[in-house]
Chain A
Amino acid sequence: MELKSDIQKTIENLESKTEGSVPIEEVKELIRGVKDIFEGRFESEDVHLYGELGELARFINEARKDLREFQPHLLTDQEIPDASDQLDAIVNQTEKATGSIMDSCEQLEGLNQRVIDRLISHNPPLDEDVLAGVDDALTESQNHITNIFESCNFQDLTGQRIMKIVKTLREVERQVLRMVVVFGLQNKSVDDDMRKKLEDEAELLEGPQLPGNSLEQDDIDDILNKLL
């Protein structure tokens, strides 16, 4: 419609300028312009755009079909929550087990102290060499207990990493729910409480970095030496 009115306007301009007598070259120019419009701009841009839109519509239809077959509500109602629960259980169980290991370490420390107290208060007093030998053994025992405590660091780090995965799973769940709503596959809205919870979680930092993505203590010490 717009093309036709443009052509009409051009013809009217020519008519008024030439009072009805139009040179043949100007007519040729006009025809070339019309030809360009139809064969050039229209075909290469507009037709191409219509084609792209058609492809997009077909893609959306296919995606809707795929999503229906995929049954997204199973993922959001069951599978992701189940996976999150399993990961939460891992965190809780490792925390409990780590607590139990540390309880035992503290018991061992208490026993070591009782041995020391008994030997020191022994009557008659024990030989110095015997006491020194026992002291060496107990010091070594204490070092092992300290090593166990240090190794319990793993629970904090793995716990934080798992919580990061749980957060990602919840985000996937939220995005799938959004797709369900957008494609009208299920009349279910995104849970506002879950959204709020996710936003709150996002405020926390990212958690521990994977090895290689994080600085080692020596690198941090270098920075501190320069800055402090």
Chain B
Amino acid sequence: MAVDKRMRILVVDDFQTMRRIIINLLRQLGFTNVVEAQDGQLALEKVKDDKIDLVISDWNMPNMTGLEFLKVLRSSEEYKDLPFIMVTAEGKKENVIAAVQAGVNNYIVKPFNAATLKEKLSKVIGDF
């Protein structure tokens, strides 16, 4: 089934620069329906208020980390299957394993490029 590029993507990162980079790269890939949040707590509100189809989240954030945010989503019946990609500088093996155990769909380590983002998106939502 073809990917609907109008899907709503939530980008979560406490660094504005990184949010802009991801949003711009998504736009290059044809995804323009993007909302953003600065931490897991605010992201949770966005997920509840907006109809989010995919989450791309940083790990290391104040208030609520990406991992905590992911765990909250996975513990909810409504969002337990919401596609979730972790984009983080945390490249340690134990972090990757913890994220997988929490239910992440894919994991991108920073710094990354548009090709990596495209490849990971394809694995989660299908080829586009």
A-B interaction: yes
**Interface residue ranges, A against B (CB under 8 Å):** 95, 98-99, 102, 105-106, 142, 146, 149-150, 152-157, 159-160, 204-205, 207-209, 214-217, 219-220, 223-224, 227-228
Q: For B97, what are the chain A residues with a Cβ–Cβ distance below 8 Å?
A: 223, 227
Q: In residues 51-75 of chain B, which contact A (Cβ within 8 Å)?
A: 59-60, 62, 65
> What band does the interface of chain B fall in when counting residues whose beta carbon is under 8 Å from A?
20 to 34
A228 and B110 in contact, given A95-B16, A95-B17 (Cβ under 8 angstroms): no
CA distance in complex: A228, B86 (Å): 14
CA distance in complex: A150, B117 (Å): 11
A146 and B96 in contact, given A153-B21, A156-B18 (Cβ under 8 angstroms): no
Contact of B91 (CB < 8 Å), options: A146, A149, A215: A215
CA distance in complex: A142, B30 (Å): 13
CA distance in complex: A220, B55 (Å): 19
Q: For B113, what are the chain A residues with a Cβ–Cβ distance below 8 Å?
A: 150
- Stretch of B3-11, B40-48, B76-84, B101-109 on the interface side: B101-109
Q: For B25, what are the chain A residues with a Cβ–Cβ distance below 8 Å?
A: 146, 149-150
A153 and B111 in contact, given A102-B20, A209-B92, A223-B96 (Cβ under 8 angstroms): yes
Q: For A153, what are the chain B residues with a Cβ–Cβ distance below 8 Å?
A: 18, 21, 110-112
A142 and B89 in contact, given A153-B110, A153-B112 (Cβ under 8 angstroms): no
CB pair B112–A217 under 8 Å, yes or no, is yes
CA distance in complex: A106, B92 (Å): 34
CB pair A224–B96 under 8 Å, yes or no, is yes
Q: For B108, what are the chain A residues with a Cβ–Cβ distance below 8 Å?
A: 217
Contact of A220 (CB < 8 Å), options: B17, B21, B107: B107
Contact of A204 (CB < 8 Å), options: B17, B60, B91: B60
**Interface residue ranges, B against A (CB under 8 Å):** 13, 15-18, 20-21, 24-25, 28, 59-60, 62, 65, 89-93, 95-97, 100, 105-114, 116
The SS class assigned to the B binding surface is mixed
CA distance in complex: A68, B93 (Å): 46
A157 and B110 in contact, given A204-B60, A207-B60 (Cβ under 8 angstroms): yes
CB pair A215–B89 under 8 Å, yes or no, is no
CB pair B21–A146 under 8 Å, yes or no, is no
Q: For A220, what are the chain B residues with a Cβ–Cβ distance below 8 Å?
A: 91, 96, 107, 109
CB pair B21–A150 under 8 Å, yes or no, is yes
Beyond the given A99-B16, A150-B114, A227-B97, could you list 7 further A-B residue pairs with CB under 8 A, ordered by the A residue number? A146-B114, A150-B21, A160-B60, A209-B89, A209-B92, A224-B96, A227-B100
Q: For A205, what are the chain B residues with a Cβ–Cβ distance below 8 Å?
A: 59-60, 65, 90, 95
| Shortest Cβ distance from residue B93 to the other chain A in the assembled complex, whole angstroms | 6
Q: For B13, what are the chain A residues with a Cβ–Cβ distance below 8 Å?
A: 156
CB pair A216–B24 under 8 Å, yes or no, is no
Closest residue of chain A to B29 (Cβ to Cβ) is A146
By CB atoms of chain B within 10 A, which of A209, A216, A224 has the most? Answer: A224
Q: For B100, what are the chain A residues with a Cβ–Cβ distance below 8 Å?
A: 223-224, 227-228
| Shortest Cβ distance from residue A177 to the other chain B in the assembled complex, whole angstroms | 25
CB pair B114–A208 under 8 Å, yes or no, is no
CA distance in complex: A157, B21 (Å): 13
| Shortest Cβ distance from residue B105 to the other chain A in the assembled complex, whole angstroms | 8
A214 and B111 in contact, given A159-B15, A224-B96 (Cβ under 8 angstroms): no
